Every structure is written in structure tokens, then in C-alpha cells.
Amino acid sequence: QAVGEPNKGGLCEGQVYEAKEGINITLYRAWNSTNPNSKMGRWWAWQAPTGSVAQYREDYEICYQWSALDQLVTCELNAGAKIVVGPGQSAECSQYLTYPASAKQQVFIVNADEVMSNCQTFTGEFSWR
């Protein structure tokens, strides 16, 4: 489910891992507040978003149609959780915008709402430079 075709998003390739007891793993997900069901979606990152939203979209191949990226949730992965990790596949957002495949490692979780705990939610704010 995690590996996608070129220009369709997903991962180029992936490796399955299982979280072990006693190892704390915090993951980050930028999501769309207009769709509350997207909070605990399938795509996560190892690091909190930094820098420009445009660069984050490119790094993780997130089309503007898919998410406003105006909320952030951080959660800890529970022991026994299975995840898929790999580099992001290219994504064609429109005839004018295609993100190339990225070396950034993404984390795919089928059932995040069941295998994550200690979640905190943050709201995006305007910050212009």
C-alpha cells in the first residue's frame, strides 16, 4: 500500500519495521484542519516541519489539493507498531506542478490512530520573511 507509481505519490520503495519496547519514537504529521479525519492519516515524518511550506511540500511530495498543512500533530509510536519507511515517490499535482521523487525518508502507517499515543496538536500561524 505504501509504494506508489511515478507521479502518483507514495514511496519509491519501502522497508517494513516494527517498533520495539523501550525505544521512544516521536513522529510528526502536518495535516488539513478542514478534514479532521486526516489528523491521524497514513503519512508521517521523522522531523518536525521547518522552513517554508513550499519546500516542505516539495520534500514530501504533498500536493496543495491533498492538504492545507495548517495543523501539526506529534505522537509517539507504540511498541509493536509496524511502519514502512522509504523515500518519497514523485507526485503530479497539476499540468503545471509535479514534484520529483525525494530522498527524504517518509513513514507510512496503516492504522496510526491505533498504534500512536501521547499526541499533541499544534496550529499553524502566519510568519512572513
Could you read off the pLDDT of 45-99 as tens digits, one per residue? 999 999 999 999 999 999 999 999 999 999 999 999 999 999 999 999 999 999 9
Over residues 7-36, the mean pLDDT reads 94
Length of the chain: 129
Residues 56/58/59/63 CA torsion (nearest 10 deg): 80
